[in-house]
Amino acid sequence: MTTATSPILLKWDPKSLEIRTLTVERLLEPLVTQVTTLVNTSSKGPSSKKKGRSKKAHVLAVSVEQATQNFLEKGEQIAKDSHDLKEELISAVEDVRKQGEAMRIASSEFADDPCSSVKRGTMVRAARALLSAVTRLLILADMADVMRLLAHLKIVEEALEGVKNATNEQDLANRFKEFGKEMVKLNYVAARRQQELKDPQCRDEMAAARGALKKNATMLYTASQAFLRHPDVAATRANRDYVFKQVQEAIGGISSAAQANSPTDEKHGHAGIGELAAALNEFDSLAKIENQEHSQVKEHVFQCQNSAVILFAIHSLMLDESPFVFA
């Protein structure tokens, strides 16, 4: 079995914590909804219940705690299975555990006294830290997936080099057979990654690179065979080298698209960034305002419930206030 021996270079700055795949969005959205709903729990003053305790807030707090526990369990398994990012994933899991416990305490205290703007503000800050920690964990897990795809790419590159170094037609047939097996594996992994990419431009680039790889791989055997039969003919060498270059460029295109290395964000930015961040910051200042103003802030936060806006807002939260440093 072919194995990758050269180092895998990931062109991805983990400090940016940019959400690049639909999977990360889907996994984050329920937790974001639960947290923002908890933050927005109505505070209409004390009821007949002791200390104005909120049953709804307690239920929401439990749901957030359960969701956090699910992230912890999945994160621990991913860290266990990972080779390239094990330490980073373990650190991220521990951060989620730490911030989850802080959120559990803060939300429980708030649920017992939902009229307290101080406790509400404490819970908002805990929620921010928890969302930041969970986002980092999910993005690191996504990076681990990309590392596996890049490992497949290295194997294909090495198999390609083997085809190029074939000394006779039988050797070429054997090496090309191995190359074909690795191509099938790569195509499956790359197709799955293509479906998950958020950026349409990156999806298009991945599709184009996969198409170019398939097209040129089919010509690779005949071009190599012609060269082996007529090694002294300049045209056969030039044709073979051209096809090899096309295959290599297609592999590079898959690598770039898989990591979502697109200029789209730099040119256009993200629409909707910061809306949830601004709403949470407003809650941070609730200790300084009257309870009757809560409904206005609540309305503003619920305007952020659109999935894409929520997640872009979390992204801006990470950029501005993430306490994490990639080890």
- pLDDT bin (cut points 50, 70, 90) of residue 116 is confident
Domain 165-198+200-258 indexed as CATH 1.20.120.230: yes
Structure tokens at 277: 């961040």
Domain spans of the chain, in order of start: 18-145+268-321, 165-198+200-258
pLDDT at residue 295 greater than cutoff 60 = no
Is 168:228 a contact under the CB 8 Å cutoff? yes
Domains 18-145+268-321 and 165-198+200-258 in one fold: yes
In terms of pLDDT, which residue wins out, 325 or 267?
A: 267
pLDDT at residue 325 greater than cutoff 90 = no
Is 186:38 a contact under the CB 8 Å cutoff? no
pLDDT at 29: 84
Helix residue ranges, H only, the chain:
22-39, 55-81, 86-112, 117-164, 169-196, 200-229, 234-258, 264-268, 275-284, 294-302, 307-321
Count Cα neighbours of 297 within 13 Å in the Cβ-side half-sphere: 29
Distance CA 280, CA 303 (A): 12
- pLDDT bin (cut points 50, 70, 90) of residue 31 is confident
pLDDT at 22: 87
- pLDDT bin (cut points 50, 70, 90) of residue 45 is very low
Task: Give residues with Cβ within 8 angstroms of 315, minimum separation 6.
Answer: 17, 18, 19, 135, 270, 273
Query: Tens digits of per-residue pLDDT, 171-185?
Result: 999 999 999 999 999
Task: Give residues with Cβ within 8 angstroms of 266, minimum separation 6.
Answer: none
User: What's the average model confidence in pLDDT over 100-121?
Assistant: 90
Residue with the two structure tokens 């021996």? 5
CATH topology assigned to domain 18-145+268-321: Four Helix Bundle (Hemerythrin (Met), subunit A) (1.20.120)
User: What's the average model confidence in pLDDT over 34-62?
Assistant: 67
Structure tokens at 185: 């594996």
pLDDT at 84: 80
Cα dist from 191 to 75, 177, 184, 209, 211, whole Å: 24, 21, 11, 11, 11
Distance CA 291, CA 60 (A): 21
pLDDT at residue 305 greater than cutoff 70 = no
Sign of the CA dihedral with 116 first, then 117, 120, and 121 last: negative
Cα dist from 183 to 30, 50, 186, 306, 316, whole Å: 37, 66, 5, 39, 38
